[in-house]
Chains A and B, each alone.
Chain A
């Protein structure tokens, strides 16, 4: 079936650098996308979301970019900090539905 996937399973970045986490999705009916952060042993934490009528949305130190043409989603974290170390999941929600489908996850390691 259709799914959401990620290109990189692990990403290591130096503290202070910017991080970019990528996600490919295949369900063209999805109209809502979310990025979650999950620390070890905890539930997912909402970071930022974006609807399909937008191509960019900014939060505090985070930016999500959506390219519907190639079905690609990315999360940019500015000035990455040790506290950003976690697994990041993208998730998609098809239009008209409430349930979301999670991608495979990318582990972000911040090197002090």
Chain B
């Protein structure tokens, strides 16, 4: 089946720093990738849709300048959390649109101290 990877799997950073999370589709090309955020014991909330070669589409209430998304190739999308604060601590999950359905990455646990 289609495989999506994320790196890093866990990251701890200090408040005020920026963190970059990578999402890769390993065995297929994805013109569209998605970034989700998940708080403990809650569902996945879509943050933005990442389109290869164009600007990302953000969901209502998601700050574009805080969550920078770059989709520079058909197999890689990156999410940069800028000036991270403790309230940004969460589980970030990406997915890639395959030929039939979305395939999800394993997630990245971000902890901001």
Contact = CB atoms under 8 A, between A and B. Distances in A.
Per DSSP, chain A at the interface is loop
A104 B109 CA distance: 20
B93 A105 contact: no
Contacts of B105: 43
A43 B49 contact: no
Chain A interface size, as a band, is 10 to 19
Contacts, number: 47
Interface stretch (A13-21, A74-82, A93-101): A93-101
B46 interface: yes
Given A43-B105, A49-B101, A99 B44 contact: no
B78 interface: no
A44 B34 contact: no
A45 interface: yes
A99 B103 contact: no
Contacts of B4: 43
Contacts of B107: 41-43
Per DSSP, chain B at the interface is strand
B112 to A, nearest CB: 18
B106 interface: yes
Chain B interface size, as a band, is 20 to 34
Nearest to A43: B104
Given A98-B32, A98-B49, A103 B43 contact: yes
Interface in B1-47: 1, 4, 6, 32, 34, 42-46
Interface of B: 1, 4, 6, 32, 34, 42-46, 49, 91, 93, 95, 97, 101-107, 109
11 contacts: A34-B102, A36-B104, A43-B6, A43-B93, A43-B95, A43-B106, A44-B95, A46-B104, A98-B49, A100-B46, A103-B43
